[in-house]
Amino acid sequence: MKSKFNQKAPNWPTDAPSIKSLERLIELGEIGQFEFPILPWPFPVGRYLVTFMSSNTSGRVRSGTVVSVTNQSRNSNRVVVSFFRGFSNSPETCTFTIPAGMTADFATRDLPNDLTVANALPTPELTFHEGRAIVSSVHPEIAVSSRVYYTSGANDEQLLAISDSKIVAIGEGNRGD
């Protein structure tokens, strides 16, 4: 599934040179979602563990997880966020090529644009799941944050809370924080 860029998003540039630059990156395939398999190598490597993911559209309290990844590399960076449900080892994935110095949001499901604009969603979207996520990238220079949005209403009309999920480097543990 390929999503179109939301040009009404608050972080969409308004100056002509920036818009032209983004359009050029899109045309060259240097930005946007990508499909598997990815050739040529290198393949994205697991870098960070998001310790909690929740995505639920049933019940009075709904939730959706958004993982933000900032590419600090000098090059475009292929990033994969793999959402794992419960004890499953079969993830639902979101993929995106992020230009140098830019940030992309990977979400478990589509949330209202007033809350956040997702650049990549898994297919199918997650609607009744808890678990974890793994963030992988070709270049190691990434910064990662994650939050869970809690809402109510059939269309997530009311924001109830936002919580930050702990991010841990793969192969390392918490430092008790």
Number of C-alpha atoms within 13 angstroms, CB side, residue 124?
Answer: 6
- 110 pLDDT band (50/70/90 cuts)? very high
Note the maximum CA span of the chain.
Answer: 48
Predicted local confidence at residue 38, as pLDDT: 46
Distances (CA, A) of 128 to 63, 101, 102, 118, 166: 9, 34, 30, 19, 21
Contact between 129 and 47 (Cβ < 8 Å): no
CA angle, 65 then 69 then 72, to 5°: 170
- 152 pLDDT band (50/70/90 cuts)? very high
d(CA 41, CA 130): 32
**What is residue 158's three-state secondary structure?**
strand
- 39 pLDDT band (50/70/90 cuts)? very low
Predicted confidence (pLDDT) per residue in 57-95, tens digit: 998 999 999 999 999 999 999 999 999 988 888 899 999
- Is residue 53 predicted with pLDDT exceeding 70? yes
Alpha helix segments (H runs only) across the chain: 16-28
pTM for this prediction: 0.78
Rounded to 5 degrees, φ, ψ at 18 are -70, -40
Q: 83-87, 131-135, 161-165: which has the minimum mean pLDDT?
A: 83-87
The overall average pLDDT reported for the chain is: 84
Task: Report the amino acid identity of residue 39.
Answer: L
Predicted local confidence at residue 83, as pLDDT: 96
DSSP letter for 140, please.
Answer: S
- Is residue 27 predicted with pLDDT exceeding 80? no
